[in-house]
Structure 1
Amino acid sequence: MPPEPPRPQTRVVPVYCSDALHPVHCAVWGAANTGPTAIILHGFLQNGRECDHLAAALAAAGWRVFCPDFPGHGRSAWLRDGEYRFTTYAATIATMLAVADRPDIHLVARSMGGVVAMRMAGQAGIPLGSLTLVDVAVQWPPDAVAYHSSLLPKEMEFANPMAAAEAVRLLVSDRGPISFKGMREVLEYSMTRTRDGRIRFRCDPRLRTSIRFLDMQRGDKDRSDSWRAIEVPTLLVRGGRSIMLTADTADRMIAMNPRAELLTLADAGHPPWLRRPAEVAPIVAWLGRQALAARQRLRAGGV
């Protein structure tokens, strides 16, 4: 009989942002493992549980994996002022790096989380062994931003379970194929019930009017300089039919950074689910190679 898959532990970490300490919820996979450490960052309006399949596969391979919910997302606290900025998410990542407490952390970041991670990864002193960016471009195309904005929920709270399910289905409709069971899991981690029995998204509705989101809609900034500054091995994962990270942009990014490799996942959009073994296995294998190389570099450096 195959062993039961590992299950995450819950940890709450205080993160300082918006001039206050805010409780950030984090799922920790393989907490007792002594192998390498990864931090996986989710996308906009989602939470750390969207990374369950990759995190479970890494934990089964001996990794310790942290999957935080950014402030305003998932089970983490909402900011009092509702001003979700780049610094909000950067503070979360910096705190998680400190909590993980390793000199060679492997950062895996999806979509919005990847934008923040890209800008941080090129900074001096950040303790990274590698970086994996899942469907993250140096600049989002305006037409793609407009299309994905049209998928965002118009309402965040519902009396009717069918209406709630349809809102989630639309939000994730570009990602790729998913089974009925898989969609049930997505609904479970995406939604919660209020005290009066209504169903709402598990995030702060003010995120849709946050400064970071409105800035992106007005005209996304070019992050090419940040991308060039990354000096650790980097895996750029692209959904084969993604319009947010086009094939041309991905090829240009690989040409811009000699430390980067490209993995294209067929029949996936933005961002790929990373639920199917064919999607998870190559990332786990790549990370395994980078973990070994990072340990060798540390030993050579006397750390």
Structure 2
Amino acid sequence: MREGAVRWLSPAGFFTMRWWEWGPQDGAPVVCVHGLTRSGRDFDVLAGALAAAGRRVICPDLPGRGASDWLPDPMLYQPPAYISALSHLLARIDGPVDWVGTSLGGICGMGIAATPGHPIRRMVLNDVGAFVPQEAMARIREYLGCEPVFRDIRALEAHLRVVHAPFGKLTDAEWRHLAETSARPADGGVALHYDPAIAAPIRSQEAQALDLQPLWDRVTIPVLLIRGAESDLLLRETATTMAAAENVQLAEIPGAGHAPALMDQAQVALVADFLIQ
């Protein structure tokens, strides 16, 4: 695993977005973008498998997460800023890429893939689609930015096992890995590795359904749509409607909600087989 960084321009100035990179530098690139409170290290297992098959895999930490800069204006923590940062990364790559996006990472992918001249060849949307119901947005609004400082990694891991139970059935080693890569030092303990201010845009208004249909209607590349069978964010009705398009392949993951962790062998193979086409 290697580390990389790119400077990107926001309305508040230039900031640094960092990423984790796997595989040969001349391999066909795959960009993996994480969910709302997570980081690029969530993709370590998937990235390692894709790298072993010869792919160059780049897993950025979105602004305000992981090793990337926090932003001075909390209201910048919205998809337009994330897409701006990711666009600087895509310009650095300067060629076709495949995209794996979990939740927020999928929303960013849709936003880019809906734009003329985009470089995305194939896209995996992990448990996010054309419509996010109000109930799911209310659930996110309730917990976002409210996590305490934990006394140690073990306490943080116990928290993750509860709030991210919908990731599916993970091994003890996988939960520990997620905990260790989610932590930052804070006040004598550890906190989740994101800026609590990312909650500001969501908390600034009442929870509302998120209609992404105008973006989705402009996505014409091949898409693998992955849905956790128990997901409250990507409803079965939404997924089924999206999968009616000729460019979409739908896969439902039993025993998972929002969002499948893409860590077990079957899920990794599902993604790898789609991207190799």
Q: Is TM more than 0.5 here?
A: yes
Contact 1:153/1:167 (8 A) holds in 2:
no
Counterpart secondary structure, 1:184: helix
Contact 2:36/2:103 (8 A) holds in 1:
yes
Check if 1:265 corresponds to 2:257. no
Counterpart secondary structure, 1:170: helix
Counterpart of 1:88, as a letter, is A
Check if 1:240 corresponds to 2:220. no
State which of 62, 70, 75 in structure 2 corresponds to 1:78.
70
Tell me which moved more, 224-233 or 55-64. 224-233
- Aligned residue pairs: how many? 276
Check if 1:276 corresponds to 2:264. yes
Distance 1:183 1:175 in 2: 10
How does the TM-score come out when normalised to structure 2?
A: 0.93
Misfit runs of 4+, over 3 Å: 147-153, 159-163, 214-217
Check if 1:191 corresponds to 2:179. no
State which of 206, 224, 228 in structure 1 corresponds to 2:217.
228
| 1:55-113 deviation digits (Å, cap 9, x = unpaired) | 111111100111000000011110012221222111122112112221x2111111011
Distance 1:215 1:264 in 2: 33
Counterpart of 1:198, as a letter, is G
Contact 1:132/1:237 (8 A) holds in 2:
yes
Distance 2:179 2:88 in 1: 29
- CA drift at 1:18: 3.2
Contact 2:24/2:54 (8 A) holds in 1:
no
Contact 2:145/2:197 (8 A) holds in 1:
no
| 1:21-48 deviation digits (Å, cap 9, x = unpaired) | 111110011143x331110100011000
Counterpart of 2:107, as a letter, is V
After superposition, residues 105-144 of structure 1 pair within 5 angstroms as: 105-144=97-136
Structure 1 vs Structure 2 CA RMSD: 1.9
Task: Say if 1:248 and 1:119 are closer, same or farther in 2 by CA, change over 3 A.
Answer: same
Distance 1:124 1:208 in 2: 31
Contact 1:156/1:205 (8 A) holds in 2:
no
Distance 2:98 2:205 in 1: 27
- Percent identical: 30
Match of 1:288 in 2: 276
Contact 1:152/1:171 (8 A) holds in 2:
no
Check if 1:204 corresponds to 2:192. no
Tell me which moved more, 38-47 or 215-224. 215-224
- CA drift at 1:140: 0.9
Task: Say if 1:122 and 1:215 are closer, same or farther in 2 by CA, change over 3 A.
Answer: farther
Task: Say if 1:146 and 1:19 are closer, same or farther in 2 by CA, change over 3 A.
Answer: closer
Contact 2:138/2:208 (8 A) holds in 1:
no
- CA drift at 1:152: 4.2
Counterpart secondary structure, 2:74: coil
Counterpart of 1:26, as a letter, is W
- CA drift at 1:147: 3.2
Contact 1:152/1:170 (8 A) holds in 2:
no
Contact 2:22/2:58 (8 A) holds in 1:
yes
- CA drift at 1:119: 2.1
- CA drift at 1:190: 0.7
Counterpart secondary structure, 2:87: helix
Counterpart secondary structure, 2:131: coil
Distance 2:222 2:11 in 1: 33
Match of 2:208 in 1: 219
- CA drift at 1:153: 5.9
Match of 2:21 in 1: 28
Counterpart of 1:234, as a letter, is V
Structure 2: stretches of 5+ with no match in the other structure? none
Task: Say if 1:25 and 1:217 are closer, same or farther in 2 by CA, change over 3 A.
Answer: farther
